[in-house]
Amino acid sequence: MNSETKKAARSNQEDETLIRDFLAENINAFDRLVLKYQDLVFNLCFRIVGDYDDASDCAQETFIKVHANLKNFAFRSSFTTWLYRIAINTCRTMLSSSGNRMRKKMVRIDRPGDAESGPVEINDCSSDPGDLFEKNEQSRVIHRAIDSLPDELKVLVVLRDLEGNSYEEISEITGVNLGTVKSRLARARHLLRESLREVL
Amino acid sequence: MNCDQVKMILADYLDGTATEKEKASVAAHLKKCDNCRDELRFLKKYLKAIGKYPTFQAPDDFLKGVHRGIERRQRSGIVRTLFFPLSVKVPLEAAALVALALTGVLLFRPYRTDLLDYGPEQAPAVTEHAAAPDRKATRDIAPGRRQALPENNVAAAPEKKRATRPEPARKDAAVTVGSRPGEQIQKQETADIQAAEITLALRLKSAHEEKAATEDLVTRESEDAAADSGIIVGGTSLRSSAAPEAQRAKTSGRDEQRADTIWAIDDLARPLGGKIIQTVMDKTTGAPRSVVVELPSGNYPAFIERLGQRWNIFDRSPAAPRASATLRITMHIQD
Q: Which domain holds residue A176?
A: 119-200
Q: What is the mean pLDDT of chain A?
A: 80
Based on the number of CB atoms within 10 Å of its own CB, is B112 exposed (0-12), middle (13-18) or buried (19 or more)?
exposed
Q: End of a domain among A60, A82, A111?
A: A111
Indicate yes or no: CB of B11 within 8 angstroms of CB of A2: no
Q: End of a domain among A111, A137, A164?
A: A111
CATH of the domain at A165: 1.10.10.10
The reported pTM is 0.49
Tell me if ipTM is over 0.85: no
Share of chain A above pLDDT 70, in %: 76
Total domains in the fold of chain A: 2
Shared-domain flag, residues A130 and A106: no
Q: Which of B4, B54, B65 lies closest to A139 in CB terms?
A: B54
pLDDT at A101: 59
Quick: pLDDT tens for A45-99.
999 998 889 999 999 999 999 999 998 888 888 899 999 999 999 999 988 875 6
Indicate yes or no: CB of A190 within 8 angstroms of CB of B56: no
Q: Which of A46, A138, A189 lies closest to B43 in CB terms?
A: A189
- CA atoms within 13 Å, Cβ hemisphere of B324: 19
Q: Is B137 helix (H, G, I), strand (E, B) or coil?
A: helix
Indicate yes or no: CB of A182 within 8 angstroms of CB of B8: yes
* Contact indicator for B275, B164 with CB cutoff of 8 Å: no
Shared-domain flag, residues A66 and A148: no
Shared-domain flag, residues A101 and A153: no
Shared-domain flag, residues A4 and A90: yes
- Nearest Cα to B257, choosing from B310, B182, B313? B310
Q: What are the average pLDDT values for consecutive 10-residue runs of chain B, which has 335 residues?
A: 86 86 90 89 88 86 92 77 79 92 84 52 44 43 41 40 42 40 43 73 79 62 49 40 47 57 87 89 81 90 88 86 87 85
Residue with the bigger pLDDT between A124 and A96: it is A96
Q: End of a domain among A79, A111, A143?
A: A111
Shared-domain flag, residues A83 and A142: no
Tell me the residues of chain A between 84 and 123 that have a Cβ less than 8 Å away from chain B: none
- Nearest Cα to A152, choosing from A86, A81, A91, A83? A91
Q: Which of B11, B50, B73 lies closest to A162 in CB terms?
A: B50
CATH of the domain at A79: 1.10.1740.10
Q: From the CA of B4, how many Å to the nearest CA of chain A?
A: 8
Which of these ranges, A164-168, A193-197, B122-126, has the smallest mean pLDDT?
A: B122-126
A7, A69, A187, A189: best to mutate for the B interface, most B CBs within 10 A:
A189
* Contact indicator for A63, B66 with CB cutoff of 8 Å: yes
Chain A and chain B share a number of CB contacts under 8 A equal to 99
A4 pLDDT band, cuts 50/70/90, is low
Q: Which of B9, B10, B63 lies closest to A34 in CB terms?
A: B63
Distance CA B97, CA B93 (A): 6
pLDDT at B213: 62
Judged by a CB distance cut-off of 8 A, whether residue A125 touches chain B is: no
pLDDT at B219: 57
In chain B, which residues have their Cβ closer than 8 Å to the Cβ of A63?
66, 69
Beta bridge partners of residue B315, listed in sequence order: B201
Judged by a CB distance cut-off of 8 A, whether residue A190 touches chain B is: yes
In chain A, which residues have their Cβ closer than 8 Å to the Cβ of B73?
64, 68
Q: Is B251 helix (H, G, I), strand (E, B) or coil?
A: coil
Distance CA A162, CA A43 (A): 10
Shared-domain flag, residues A138 and A77: no
In chain B, which residues have their Cβ closer than 8 Å to the Cβ of A35?
63
Judged by a CB distance cut-off of 8 A, whether residue A39 touches chain B is: yes
Q: From the CA of A75, how many Å to the nearest CA of chain B?
A: 23
Distance CA B253, CA B67 (A): 85
